Amino acid sequence: SDLSRLSEIDKSLAVFCMATYGEGDPTDNAQDFYDWLQEADADLSGLRFAVFGLGNKTYEHFNAMGKYVDKRLEELGAQRIFELGLGDDDGNLEEDFITWREQFWPAVCEHFGVEATGEESSIRQYELVVHTDVNMNKVYMGEMGRLKSYENQKPSTPCLSGSWPVLAGRLASLKSLMVLVFHLLSSCSHARYESGDHVAVYPANDSSLVNQIGEILGTNLDTIMSLNNLDEESNKKHPFPCPTSYRTALTYYLDITNPPRTNVLYELAQYATDAGEQERLRKMASSAAEGKALYLSWVVEARRNILAILQDMPSLRPPIDHLCELLPRLQARYYSIASSSKVHPNAIHICAVAVEYETKTGRLNRGVATNWLKNKIPNENGNNSLVPMYVRKSQFRLPFKPSTPVIMIGPGTGIAPFIGFIQERAWLKQQGKEVGETVLYYGCRREREDYLYREELARFRQEGVLTQLNVAFSRDQAEKVYVQHLLKKNKENIWKLVNEGNAHIYVCGDARNMARDVQNVFYEIVAEFGNMSQPQAMDYVKKLMTKGRYSLDVWS
């Protein structure tokens, strides 16, 4: 609402960094702005702006939000100072931004008739305050929202503070596949979910990584401190909840496992006492081709996290408070819910694969959330652990009429939401409702090693809830067989369900290859049986998506 008044400030400029989520949607914190832009008839003629979009090319609606905001602001009379930048997270988002920024500043200087000094300076955003005499009840211990929110739940936070015990984790087969059941605490009764929703889990970093960072930097990790914003006008008072200890910050609030971005390396370079190491860090943070290549090979491809960088650069010993200021926040991890609230009103099921791999430097890297969850699985004593999480609503929904057929395609852990769907269809059938055909296409590598929910699916099939169970085992024979091959094999049946039965299609899992390959098969089926050209078939499938009859829940 203040945008139209920005012109009152001399030489003002608004820069919009717009991420795209899901099927070309705005992120949660941009939803109100997006709604306002769509309805607004404001006159933004005095506004000068530039937009940088954050997207991922593996998704169909690449950078839809960035493109929309750039176009809409101009339509409302605002003046574009520099062209739209399109960052691609499938490549190197950081690099795309730096390339855009390098041309952005000269354009800004030219527009406003100012000269750039050409000097990049390092300015701290926060100042360190160490608390020697502090009431421990006022110290954050890992809470995401209110202080002590894990101890006294309030319905006002959408279970952002909700800690739910892991009830009955069971390791499905040997291949680090987990099926976890979270029992909702009674104080979290407001955390209602529907089949197809996601659950966000707030994980914690491995304590051994945290301890090693503390040792390398020679720090007492239990020091209680605050990082206070030097800009008193800023809404963001601290980079993470403060006061807290370095141990808590590195465990619950900061991302210490992902390869650091180039801006972090640039800021850290000043602390390397060895000239060669300092130059190497500066080079990797530069926009020179040689520097970009070095960053890609030495940091990204070698999967070096901040600990590995400190280990491999013995002269680099930054103050821990500046490191905590620079590291990004540890993000919640989202999982598709693998249960139906009609059948399990007080529990949420998820399935996940514990990520573990060896890097090019011979280090063992582990997925933060999956390994943290793995350690939460109750032992023989049955001791329950608490997991902070909340439910995120999704557009991935069963058809309103139970009699509508559904075609579900979900290889690997992409099967998760469909277990909830099938449970719900079984429940509807028990209630005496007429339930349409329920068809599943599932895939995994080997039948004996990683066939998730084998017994449950066999039971559903036997009971007639699951009309068809089509499973592709990609590694059990000479030629690889994937779900898209099975779809092709049953193309006549698929077309009949879609064309005559008005079936709803659901795809869940890998966006990069599977979702795209499946969509291409649907184009082929529609073209062949609907007697259409390729462009017409593509348009037909796009219309199914618009009508909510072809839904995607995919990740890359």
Q: Please give the Cα distance from 543 to 556 (Å, whole number).
A: 24
Q: How many residues does the chain have?
A: 556
Out of 96, 321, 450, 553, which one is annotated catalytic?
A: 553
> For residue 249, which of 227, 273, 268, 282 has the smallest C-alpha distance?
227
> For residue 396, which of 242, 198, 149 has the smallest C-alpha distance?
198
Q: Is the peptide bond before 243 cis (omega within 30 degrees of 0)?
A: yes
Out of 340, 508, 510, 551, which one is annotated catalytic?
A: 508
DSSP string, 105-132: HHHHHHHHT-----------SEEEEE-S
> For residue 406, which of 442, 441, 443, 436 has the smallest C-alpha distance?
436
Out of 149, 245, 336, 551, which one is annotated catalytic?
A: 336
Burial of 267 (0-12, 13-18, 19+ CB in 10 A): buried
Query: Residue 480 CB: number of other CB atoms within 10 A?
Result: 12
DSSP string, 259-299: PPPHHHHHHHGGGB-SHHHHHHHHHHTS-SHHHHHHHIIII
Does residue 555 have an active-site annotation? yes
Burial of 60 (0-12, 13-18, 19+ CB in 10 A): middle
Q: Please give the Cα distance from 427 to 132 (Å, whole number).
A: 58
Amino acid at 255: D
Does residue 100 have an active-site annotation? no
Place of tokens 């609230």: 341
For residue 214, CA distances in Å to 140, 221, 318, 414 come to 19, 6, 11, 38
Q: Please give the Cα distance from 366 to 533 (Å, whole number).
A: 47
Q: Please give the Cα distance from 22 to 395 (Å, whole number).
A: 10
Q: Residue 485 contacts by C-beta under 8 Å, 6 or more apart in sequence?
A: 472
Q: Residue 132 contacts by C-beta under 8 Å, 6 or more apart in sequence?
A: none
For residue 300, CA distances in Å to 86, 332, 401 come to 20, 22, 48
> For residue 348, which of 400, 273, 417 has the smallest C-alpha distance?
417
Q: Please give the Cα distance from 443 to 447 (Å, whole number).
A: 9
Q: What amino acid positions are annotated as catalytic residues?
A: 336, 508, 553, 555
